Chain A
């Protein structure tokens, strides 16, 4: 189980393969296999939506059975309409291409790149992965729809859109109903899937894989042995502090009065903070390390994030007085 938690991808970065990530990926594969055309993935911030997008993009590129166009949408609300569209095409063009920064034909370039890539891979499938899609404007959605139709009619290419983003902005029924036209919602946001967080009981699995999986750099070290060599030699493991991590995370959740879910990014941030500071602290014995684990969880940003979310929720539930 633990050996499958880390999945290396093309650029050497490692992705924590949590059960939540696996479930989202499997759901995505199910939709593609069943010839559906879009999927909406959403979650609160720091739950790892972007990580899932990167993982799916890497896996699909590795499979080389479809053209993968992955991008993060930018905030363009204050731009002119033409600039909004142009920014969209710019973000969709792969960053490692030889396109100049300024070109007036970005859309045509994108179409040509897709055509060449589809021909090279001998496929008729194009997967668009659009992260942070809460920034995509209505104009941009319409432009994407036209692009999709052009690919279908002229290039004979089938498209699949994985639209991912912040749950409060994308999945909120009122926004979807009021702001986004039904045609767009049906086209790009069907089959919604919420990315679940890590439960306190699941923290042990995350910490265990940090002890067991190889560090991406060469040398054969695990994450724990790489960052804390003496701690590793003394036989201590970060998974030994699972209970401390779990209790502390549970306490923060209880203080905030929210659900028993933690964003995966917070767990990793706490583990990283612990590993970076454990080496000098390890001479103080296990008590000092336990205190460090508590401090690491306290400073991982979860408490502040929950407090901010609570304030925002209070603001959005204020009664409106309209005459």
Chain B
């Protein structure tokens, strides 16, 4: 039965479920989070179903929207368990093209952080509110308004809104090919090096050209690290993502011993805590816990001369280094019934980068990160969390139960779909990177 308030003719071919939810939220005068919860059982602490719902949840959502089954290809980024290669490029905060938004359209391709321009209009994609510059949480949106300052992202609909939405969708076919070549940021992982290249002449989003640069640098940097944590959790932990909630956080400023049962979840939780935020499953959001005195902020001073397109890469690499380091040390002290350990970020990260020219760079990641595949196996092998294996305990944990059903369906439909983080540990420092400038906290290289 089609959901009350929804009209199937409002749907653009190629439209994402978030866009559909905004329309339905407008029709029902509710917030987008309620609609996404209704459609795919997502919530602010369980956002994965918005991108990768289980097959059964996706089917129910499509039936409620009265759409053909093929629409799943554009409604969702994928079905069932995501692997790291498909999840690592997607962000949860809303990114949009202003022109597409004016036509009430949003595509999953906008959520790929390697893309800086709209594939249809060649306009820079926005990832923050043009007025208040805050990252937009789609779950908190009401209609096409900024959840923070109520700035409209599209012109208000009038009395004839039912027809307007129909006309906007009529005849629109915007499905992208799977191998869409129009990615603006190219990240090539290989055996020896990771090469990053910007293909769109370094055009930066409009939202970045605001006066309060320092705050936005921090927000930008933290946001991408947070998204990286989310991607790692979704792909590596997946069926026991709730471990991230259950693990205990040690003190931020003092080294304290943390008891834990899931080494990788403990590592992720500790790394996020040192960054001054929490995982989404603990109701965290990049802007929700802005502590100005975290170790994380000290890295910012080294990014003054880095072009904007390169910041996400650095932010993510620093966070991966943290998690890898933490996961290794938590894993080493792990016993069959869990463990206890103290960890804090290392004062220096063996991370080097070099700007080969104005539009490319090489990144050399640390030695610990190169062992990341083995370290991340901890997430699937050594979790001692009783909630992971006890059906009775799972029954009291709806989030875990949902995740478990997703992975079982995934195995049925796709066979062995284990997370593939192998490709991510790459890069060997090249001697030709240019001059190397050592700092107390980070090692980087600039030059061309």
| Choice from A61, A94, A100, A113 contacting B27 with Cβ under 8 Å | A113
Given A98-B24, A98-B38, A99-B34, CB of A116 within 8 Å of CB of B5: yes
Asked if A97 and B31 make an inter-chain contact with CB atoms under 8 angstroms apart, the answer reads: no
Residue of B nearest to A109 (CB): B29
| Choice from B1, B8, B28, B37 contacting A113 with Cβ under 8 Å | B28
Asked if A113 and B5 make an inter-chain contact with CB atoms under 8 angstroms apart, the answer reads: yes
Given A98-B39, A99-B34, CB of A119 within 8 Å of CB of B7: yes
Residues from chain B with a CB closer than 8 A to the CB of A311 are none
Asked if B31 and A93 make an inter-chain contact with CB atoms under 8 angstroms apart, the answer reads: no
How distant is the Cα of A96 from the Cα of B35 in the complex, in angstroms? Answer: 11
Whether B422 sits at the interface, judged by CB under 8 Å, is no
Whether B306 sits at the interface, judged by CB under 8 Å, is no
How distant is the Cα of A93 from the Cα of B25 in the complex, in angstroms? Answer: 15
| Choice from A94, A99, A120 contacting B30 with Cβ under 8 Å | A99
Whether B162 sits at the interface, judged by CB under 8 Å, is yes
Whether B6 sits at the interface, judged by CB under 8 Å, is yes
Residues from chain A with a CB closer than 8 A to the CB of B163 are 119
Whether B4 sits at the interface, judged by CB under 8 Å, is yes
Whether A115 sits at the interface, judged by CB under 8 Å, is yes
Interface string of A269-303 (1 = CB under 8 A from B): 00000000000000000000000000000000000
Asked if A120 and B35 make an inter-chain contact with CB atoms under 8 angstroms apart, the answer reads: no
Whether A117 sits at the interface, judged by CB under 8 Å, is yes
Residues from chain B with a CB closer than 8 A to the CB of A105 are 29
Asked if B162 and A93 make an inter-chain contact with CB atoms under 8 angstroms apart, the answer reads: no
Residues from chain A with a CB closer than 8 A to the CB of B255 are none
Asked if A112 and B27 make an inter-chain contact with CB atoms under 8 angstroms apart, the answer reads: yes
Whether A323 sits at the interface, judged by CB under 8 Å, is no
Given A99-B30, A100-B31, CB of A93 within 8 Å of CB of B1: no
Minimum C-beta distance from A208 to chain B (A): 32
Residues from chain A with a CB closer than 8 A to the CB of B5 are 97-98, 109, 112-113, 116-117
Asked if A116 and B27 make an inter-chain contact with CB atoms under 8 angstroms apart, the answer reads: yes
How distant is the Cα of A97 from the Cα of B163 in the complex, in angstroms? Answer: 21
How distant is the Cα of A117 from the Cα of B30 in the complex, in angstroms? Answer: 17
Residues from chain B with a CB closer than 8 A to the CB of A98 are 3, 5, 24-25, 28, 30, 34-35, 37-39
Within B33-92, the residues touching A (CB, 8 Å) are 34-35, 37-39
Whether A108 sits at the interface, judged by CB under 8 Å, is yes
How distant is the Cα of A103 from the Cα of B3 in the complex, in angstroms? Answer: 18
How distant is the Cα of A119 from the Cα of B30 in the complex, in angstroms? Answer: 20
Residue of B nearest to A120 (CB): B7
Asked if A96 and B34 make an inter-chain contact with CB atoms under 8 angstroms apart, the answer reads: no
Minimum C-beta distance from A95 to chain B (A): 9
Residues from chain A with a CB closer than 8 A to the CB of B1 are 10, 61, 96
Whether B149 sits at the interface, judged by CB under 8 Å, is no
Given A98-B39, A99-B34, CB of A109 within 8 Å of CB of B28: yes
Asked if B4 and A97 make an inter-chain contact with CB atoms under 8 angstroms apart, the answer reads: yes
Whether B289 sits at the interface, judged by CB under 8 Å, is no
| Choice from B30, B35, B162 contacting A115 with Cβ under 8 Å | B162
Interface string of A196-230 (1 = CB under 8 A from B): 00000000000000000000000000000000000
Residues from chain A with a CB closer than 8 A to the CB of B166 are 119
Q: What residues of chain A have their CB less than 8 Å away from a CB belonging to chain B?
A: 10, 61, 93-94, 96-100, 103, 105, 108-109, 112-113, 115-117, 119-120
A-B contact sample (9 more), CB < 8 A, given A98-B28, A109-B28, A116-B4: A61-B1, A103-B29, A112-B5, A112-B28, A113-B5, A113-B28, A115-B162, A117-B4, A119-B163
- What are some 13 contacts across the A-B interface (CB < 8 A)? A10-B1, A94-B4, A97-B28, A99-B30, A99-B34, A109-B28, A112-B29, A116-B4, A116-B7, A116-B27, A116-B162, A119-B7, A120-B9
